[in-house]
Structure 1
Amino acid sequence: MRAAGFSLTTAVVTAAALTALTGCTEKGGSGDGGNVIKVTATDDRCEVSTHEVPAGHIELEVENKGSKVNEIYLLFPDDRVVTERENIGPGTSQRVTAEVEAGDYRIACKPGMKGDGIRQDLKVTGGSAAPRDPRLDEAVAAYRGYAQTQADETLPLAQAFADAVQAGDVAAAKKAYATSRIGWERTEPVAESFGDIDPKVDLREDGLEDGQDPETDWTGWHRLERSLWRDGKISDRDKELAGRLITDLTDWQRRVGTAEITPTSMANGAKELLDEVATGKVTGEEERYSHTDLVDFKANVEGAQKSYELLKPVARENDPELVTELDRQFTALNTLLDEYRPGPSSYAFVSYDTVGDAERKELSDAVNALAEPLSQLAAAVVAK
């Protein structure tokens, strides 16, 4: 068990809604690099090397030439997310692999990680993608079942939390809060793929868009977290928001089965979960009032590891060195997390405000050591 002083640093916050087409320009022609699409993002532009690619595996080669942290999204026309990559810093590059069938898509850059995003149309031609290894189909089916189970198991835990809030029982609500979030945190990329659910249930106050009022427009777990820990009391508005949380989570539970899941989206989702840890949990900003960040941290790692384990048989054949490194880094991170558990319970972690700067740096380094090889998993899954 570790204990030390408290510090709070600034994290980049993700907003999930992308709803408008603005400021797009084209760069290059449709023949650049086959199924590699070069994306150049700036603070006010989103340039792509082609607007048309054949069905199959594509790679977004993203370079951020702006001054703001950026995000890249590949979207269906209805704003469902095919894949995404957050926290692309100024002057840095990222490669994102996706699996797409014929149809219309959108590439969206999101400078500052807020707002509607800057979009480009993308047309995918041809028929369905080539048949894939049946083990990958099994992995997708197993992960779909896992995601549904997490949603199903979340509802009664969230209901217990909501019941405590609606009863005005602060102590009981605090006790139920962290565990009600575990299933969500394990499978957050699936929920985020719908676009509209995440902002309703998991938004932090600084993720609100310009013009939104935290007293009227902010909903979900973290709004209630503030009332419970900062204010120490439950208002009539909080009781209303507890009911709304259950409505929104029930919507998520119903829709999980319709999510677009592919081997590459599983791999990319695992990396997204590590990004969530790096930008919200390690910094202490996700659970800034309750300091239950390590519960979310562990759930994110578990969700990432589940995707990895399901994809591992194919990845091992294509890139055995990568699998060896991922096994090593997952073990190292989980072992480090165990040091912050005062008891045998998997989710009985110390309050994060007792974790000092040096220990947070150690956790951050362990996350980064895993995130780097994990970013290569999607490419290993589709390698021939």
Structure 2
Amino acid sequence: MSVSKIKILFSSKVMKNGSWLYILQIFNTLAPLLTLPYITRVLGASQFGVFSFSLNLIGYFQVIVEYGFNLSGSRKVAVARDKEEVERIYSAIMTSKVILCVATFFLMLLICQILSVNEMQFISMIVLYSMVIGLSLQQTWLFQGMQDMKYITIINVFARTLSVILIFLFVKEPSDIYIYCLLYAITFLLGGIISVIIIKNKLGIAFHIPSIKDVKTELQDGWYIFTTSAMTKVFSGFGITILGFTSTESSVGIFSAIQKIPIIISMMFAPIGQVIYPYISKYYIESFEKGIQKVKKISMVIMPIVVIICIILILNSKYVVNLLFGDSYVAYYVLLIPLTLWMLLGILNNFLGVQIVVASGHEKEYSIAFNWGFISLILFNVALGFIWGLYGIAVAALVAELVLTLALIYQIKKISKKFREENKLKLIDMK
């Protein structure tokens, strides 16, 4: 690559957004690295289990409110022709998210009533629901689509830093679980409020009451991505859900803590997918082959790094668990091995699913692949969970992710074949 091309790359929006996202991701990674060892010891496995199970259930409502807008909305904004179109998209999606937020709150109350959750669990969920309110206001997809991640990064870094400081100041014993829930959620709530102000005052994007047709269109366009996002949440949280209903709070706490290790590491790679998604989407407008070649080049750089990290983590799993969580958790260090491999496949599946299948406009095929993964997850969690307990849940996550990988590869081959046949027909017509 020539010097001039390197200069163009580093001055591009893609590189600038990548830099801002990595600053954000560094903070998002450092925050749990700083607080998790402290919280797991202060709250203890049982209380941390209550928090983890509550957070896990709230995560399902979060997925409903975020719908599929993070991908469908950002792609629309990336190719929008003018400011008026951006404002129409923003207003329709903002309205949709607020409606979904109100609806899911009442749904949560109904579920708590049906399941007869205990008082501590119920209060924890009510407090943590402020996360969902914050996420309904926080329009990250808009900043992502406009390829201007500076503001959202500054907002979240400020909110996250404040949250970490307050956690160390006020969470001192197991009975402080409600305080921890509030301080954990405040990052999202504060971030959402500030982002709305910035969208109006800095970006100059105005909110207009949308038509029912526009809201319906955005919900329809995001449907397939929503179903796969919901399944993604199930992929990451179903094990904790099963444990929450069938095992002890301590078991939930132990599994949740160890699972956080690969989750935190995978967070470091998330900005890559967020940055390249609108960039890659434009190449698919030219041709499917151009888009897929771009994805291949990027993945050939990233995936070897992920593999090396996974090998190091597996070889040092016992030491890592003991260092982060202490003696109460170290006996279960073997859980980290299948969960690390689960992380590896998860990062690979982002390239296969989001950057190839979804970015090329094949949300339906993406949803079909996830259906196979979802079915396998349910079956293996139930079967292996009853046989091997905590360890069965970890292995089930890995097996289901592998099924998803194979399903995505199959869909990509089908899409490639379709485009090759279409190109052949075009050549014949030209002759």
TM bracket (short chain): 0.3 to 0.5
Q: Which of the pair is proportionally richer in helix? A: 2
Larger Rg: 2
Higher share in strand: 1
Higher relative contact order (CA closer than 8 Å, sequence separation 6+):
2
Provide TM-score, normalisation by structure 1. 0.33
**TM value normalised by structure 2:** 0.31
